């Protein structure tokens, strides 16, 4: 079972690498262009890129990013075995 989660985590990570990288870089660019450079025209363009409004995907892109991140979180937490019962508890329950 752990092997399946590792496989899914790997696949989701590969698929989400570029969209998440784009989201992070454009988000940082928005902050830098507004707060440091005071370039509001550049900030507006980066905002359109951040939400993929440039390609008319502003309604679906954040949803897909969010669902992908939830998938990465679920598979990642499952692989840590954080919620697994310890062997010590199992051996006491058998007695």
pLDDT at 78: 85
From CA 30, how far away is CA 10, in angstroms rounded? 30
pLDDT at 9: 86
Structure token digits, residue 76? 């990642």
From CA 45, how far away is CA 88, in angstroms rounded? 57
Domain ranges for the chain: 2-80
pLDDT at 1: 67
| DSSP state string for 32-87 | IIIIIS--HHHHHHHHHHHTTGGGT-TTTHHHHHHHHHHHHHHHHHHHHTTTSPPH
Is the pLDDT reported for residue 87 higher than 80?
no
pLDDT at 3: 76
| pTM (2 d.p.) | 0.70
pLDDT tens digits, residue range 11-61? Answer: 888 998 999 999 999 999 999 999 999 999 999 999 999 999 988 999 999
pLDDT at 90: 53
């Amino acid at each position: 079972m752990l092997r399946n989660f590792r496989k899914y985590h790997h696949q989701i990570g590969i698929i989400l690498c570029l969209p998440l990288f784009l989201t992070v870089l454009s988000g940082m660019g928005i902050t830098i262009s507004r707060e440091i450079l005071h370039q509001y025209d550049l900030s507006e363009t980066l905002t359109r890129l951040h939400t993929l409004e440039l390609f008319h995907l502003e309604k679906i892109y954040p949803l897909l990013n969010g669902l992908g991140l939830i998938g990465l979180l679920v598979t990642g937490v499952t692989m840590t075995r954080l919620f697994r019962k310890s062997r010590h508890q199992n051996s006491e329950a058998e007695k």
